[in-house]
Each structure stands twice: as C-alpha cells, then as structure tokens.
Amino acid sequence: MADLDLWTENSTLSNFADDTQSIIVRDNQKNLLETASSEAKCVIDFFRSNGLVNNADKAAVLYNGKGKSEIITVENVGGENLVSTYSEKLLGLHINADFGWSTHIDQLSIELKKRIGLLRRIRKRVPKEKIVIIAEAIFNSLIRYGAAVYLKPIYDKEDLNMEKKPKNTATLQTLQNNMLRVIFGFQLKNCVNMKNLREEIKMMSVNQISVYHTLLEAYNVMRHLSSEQINMKWKLIERKYALRSTTKKQLNVPEKPKLKCLGFTYNGAKLFNMLPIKMKKMEDPNTFKTMTKEWIWENIPSY
C-alpha cells in the first residue's frame, strides 16, 4: 500500500500499521460524493493492477456535515452503493460520525464490567499484590488503548479544581472505582476514599492515564514522526533570532476548536508545552516514560 498515494489525487491517506483510510473534505455534499466516487475508483484500480482482491464487506462510509452525522450514499463503489453509517469499528475503536465517542464508551463499559466480574471470582485465590498486576493487565489496559484519542485530558488548573469531570472520563472512572473496591474487598457502603486507594498502589486514575498516553503520543510525533501532518502543525518555526518559545521548545498550539472537536492535536501540544525543558529534550523513550509518570503524579491529581 506504500504507493497508493500515487493513484489517488483528491484525498488524504492516513496509515496505521496495515490499515489505510482515505479522508476527503469538501465544501458541499455534491462535490464530496463526486470526489468519493472517483477516489474509490482509483483505489479499486490500484487493487486490480496489483492482483489484489477488494473485499466489499470491509468498505464503510462515515459522513459528517456541519458537526452532525447524516445518511448519504456513495454510488458505484466497485459496482455497489455504499450507505453511510453512524458508527464503525476501526483498529479496535468505535468511531462515531458526529465526532463523539458514545458508542466506544458503551462497548468499552460492557467489556470492563466483564473484567470486574472475573477479578471478583479470583480475588480470594490471589494475593493482593498479584491481583493488582492482573487488574492493570486485563482492566486498565483496555482503558489505555486509544485513550489519547477518545478521552479529553484535564490539565488546566481551573479545570482540575472543577468537581465535574467530562462524561466519558467520569463513566470510566466509576468503573475503575468499582474494580478497586473488588480487589481491596470493599463495598460502596464503606465510603472509602478512592484517591487514597489508587495512590497506595500507584495506580493512575482515568484522567491520569489519558494525560500519560497523550504525552507519549505527542513525544512519538515529535521524536519519531509518527504523524507527519500533526508534526507539521506543531513544528517550531525556525527564526533568525531565538524567541522565548523557541528556547523553551514550545510547540505551536493549533487554534482552539469547538469543545466537541477538542482532540489530540490541541491537547497534545498544550500538554507537551507544560513539560520541563529537560523532558522535552529527552531522546531515550524509556527514560521519557519514567519521567512522564513522575511528572503526572506531581502535577495531575488522582481525583
């Protein structure tokens, strides 16, 4: 798929592992549908020329018009008409056409509840220090996957003092609290301080997990060019004379979008700029991970 971009003309290709997505942005629906049909033909021609088989069952369309999901039909894609859907699963994440993550949170919550049940069944047979490791592996690992994308980290001082957390974070935090009660043997009526429990075993809260993985992805963008497009948005502007923002390795923060679209590109740059200069210059990824965890425990409360 490395030379697919030589066949397409009017779409942006996004690659992750062995998956490739075609992204098209146009001013009106008519132009969008025409472009989508022509680009689909280019992709199918690429398949045929390389002896590959196009799997129609794998084709899907998500459409967003003015921030809302709408039903459209892209005609004649490999001889079939594709009708857009509200949600599709891509690389383990359920993506909604309206840029929300309600479907993913719902599906994730179902799976997390199953894992809580599993921990409840084995708790009395496993030492507490071991069950904490198991909980990290089978419970928190599910939250970690894609956290930089589907969660909005809270890191501003004003927001940190707010009692109300973002809905998705609050939903997952409630489930993590239930998991902690299980491994410690507490019930809701015991009124135990969950923050103290997390700090006792050095387990990050859902918001801290979100901050951690947002910073790791930002580091990968800047150090390993994991996303060239985001890197170009963040890249420091080279000037003849050094400015304060340049000497402090400050990234260019994109203009703040609407709350619903407030995603990784904005939050990643904001969080990375908060790090000490020593961390921004760190080249060894393992050392950066260790320092990031320490920085989070000192600066992002486990509420």
Q: Is the pLDDT of residue 297 over 60?
A: yes
Q: Please, what's the b/e burial string for 69-98 (b: 16 or more CB within 10 A of its CB; e: otherwise)?
A: beebebeebeeeebebebbeeeeebbbbbb
Give pTM, 2 decimals.
0.84
Spatial separation of the C-alpha atoms in residues 22 and 11, rounded to whole Å: 6
pLDDT for position 236: 60
CB–CB of 89/20 below 8 Å? no
**Cα–Cα distance measured from residue 110 to residue 112, given in angstroms and rounded to the nearest whole number:** 6
Confidence grade of residue 131 (pLDDT, cut at 50, 70, 90): very high
What pLDDT is stored for residue 270 in this prediction? 92
The pLDDT score that the predictor gives to residue 260 is 59
Q: Is the pLDDT of residue 132 over 60?
A: yes
Mean pLDDT of 102-128: 94
The predicted-structure confidence for 3-30, as pLDDT tens digits, reads as follows 888 888 888 887 766 677 788 888 888 8
What is the tens place of the pLDDT at every residue in 91-111? 889 999 988 899 999 999 999
Structure tokens at 131: 């069950």
Q: What is the pLDDT of residue 278?
A: 93
Q: Output the pLDDT for position 209.
A: 96
What's the whole-number mean pLDDT along residues 177-192? 90
Q: How many residues does the chain have?
A: 303
State yes or no: pLDDT of 158 exceeds 80. no
Supply the mean pLDDT for the chain.
85
* 11 φψ region: left (φ > 0), alpha (ψ -120 to 50), beta (else): beta
Residue 259 has pLDDT above 80, yes or no: no
For residue 277, give the nearest of 299, 297, 247, 300 by alpha carbon. 247
